[in-house]
Amino acid sequence: MKVAVFSTRPYDREFLDGANELSGSGHELFYLEMRLNSHTAHLAAGHDCICAFVNDQLGRKELEILAANGTRLIALRSAGFNNVDLDAARELGLGIGRVPAYSPDAIAEHAVALILSLNRKIHKAYARVREGNFALEGLLGFDLKGKVAGVIGTGKIGINVARILRGFGCEVLASDPFEAPELGALGGRYVPIDELLAQCDIISLHCPLTPTTHHLIDRDAIAKLKSGAMLINTSRGAVMDARAVIAGLKSGKVGYVGLDVYEEEEDLFFEDLSEQVIRDDVFVRLMTFPNVLITGHQGFFTREAMTAIAGTTISNITAFEKEGAPLYPVQVERRG
């Protein structure tokens, strides 16, 4: 199939070309660096499929342009599909494929890396030691063993976070409308969300972004936290209200924040903006706190995950070409 690949970085090309070659499918991949939006959608004209990433815009307007220009399949290189107008896609007869599981370990391990770095202040220690400053003031951490950790969303990623944190000797509490039997086997337990918020020293978010989870962590939720709690978000930015988090940091209610995602990240992440003025005041304010650690949506970025993402993306495209439906269609798997 002819595929227009949006938001391409050199690493995407490397892994997609590798998967295309390995599969022997012979898809024609046309790489575009720019994001997909209403101004760039026409560039996919004549391509049966477009391949998109998390910050590409797939609202009604973009989908209408794509469909009018011959696109039949949206192949997402992501698990999340909150950036797609599913109703519009259905009306326009567009197929949507996604990568439901590529390496839940990659994101789970990154969430735990944020917890460990924030706690033991590895990012500060690294900078200090390079400058010959070996003082320990300001680097005091806490033992993870015996702490109470909360996992919101115990799907593929959340359950792995629970497993790793149990390995550290944490008590694990969880919240999810669909309870996973594995949690009990790991020695964790489900509790109502308010209890989780009140009991936990560390809370890690692993639910998808849906109307229900939008700003799940808002002012009310923060008011219920144990004082000084650590919040980790590697799910989607808008699950957390960044302004409420800033207020929580200022009051001391929130003790630490680790983010791999941010509500307005599409204007920031995956780009080198080091020579530019960042105009997002909320993001800049977040970066000023000594107890905030932000990474630019890199949870998925391991060799294993990238290989799996590219492989499943190519399989989705091949299945659509041969059987008229992607291997992992979004509609079938839609939950909650």
Q: Is 208 in the site for ligand NAI (CB under 6 A)?
A: yes
How many CA atoms within 13 Å lie on the side-chain side of 259? Answer: 24
Please tell me which residue in 27, 72, 110, 236 is annotated as part of the active site: 236
206 is catalytic: no
**Candidate list 153, 237, 255, 311; residue touching ligand NAI; CB under 6 A:** 153
Binding of ligand NAI by 148 (CB under 6 A): no
CB atoms within 10 A of CB 90: 14
Q: Does 97 bind ligand NAI (CB under 6 A)?
A: no
Q: Per CB under 6 A, does 201 bind ligand NAI?
A: no
Total Cβ atoms within 10 A of residue 249: 22
Q: Are 149 and 111 in contact (CB under 8 A)?
A: no
Do 100 and 305 touch, CB atoms closer than 8 A? Answer: no
> What does the block give as tokens for 323?
């059987």
Considering just the CA atoms, what is the radius of gyration of the chain in Å? 21
Q: Which of 38, 212, 251, 331 binds ligand NAI (CB under 6 A)?
A: 212
Is residue 310 part of the contact set for ligand NAI (CB under 6 A)? no
Nearer to ligand NAI, 78 or 318 (CB): 78
Tell me the C-alpha distance between 332 and 283, whole Å.
36
Tokens representing 248 are 């929580």
Residue owning tokens 């299945």: 319
Judged by CB under 6 A, the stretch of 25-33, 44-52, 66-74, 292-300 that binds ligand NAI is 292-300
77 binds ligand NAI (CB under 6 A): no
Residue 194 CA to residue 222 CA, distance in Å, equals 10
Q: How far from 160 is each of 2, 132, 194, 256, CA to CA, in Å?
A: 37, 38, 22, 22
Nearest residue (CB) to ligand NAI, 25 versus 298: 298
For the segment 106-145, give every residue that binds ligand NAI (CB under 6 A). Answer: 107
Count CB neighbours of 322 within 10 A.
9
Residue least distant from ligand NAI (Cβ): 155
- From the list 240, 276, 279, 244, the residue with the least C-alpha distance to 261 is 240
Selected binder of ligand NAI within 40, 57, 234, 316 (CB under 6 A):
234
Q: Does 175 bind ligand NAI (CB under 6 A)?
A: yes
* Separation of alpha carbons 290 and 293, rounded Å: 8
- One residue of 177, 227, 275, 277 binding ligand NAI per CB under 6 A: 177
Residue window 22-51: x/- pattern of binding to ligand NAI, with contact defined by CB under 6 A: ------------------------------
How far apart, in whole angstroms, are the C-alpha atoms of residue 267 and residue 271? 9
Residue 297 annotated to the active site = yes
Q: Judged by CB under 6 A, does residue 329 bind ligand NAI?
A: no
Q: Pick the catalytic residue from 265, 271, 323, 335.
A: 265
236 is catalytic: yes
**Which CB, 5 or 152, lies closer to ligand NAI?**
152
CB of 294 to ligand NAI, least distance (A): 12
Q: Where are the alpha helices (DSSP H) in 57-133?
A: 60-68, 86-91, 104-120, 122-130
Binding-site ranges for ligand NAI (CB under 6 A) = 79-80, 104, 107, 152-158, 175-178, 206-209, 212-213, 234-236, 260-261, 297, 299-300, 336
Active site members:
236, 265, 297
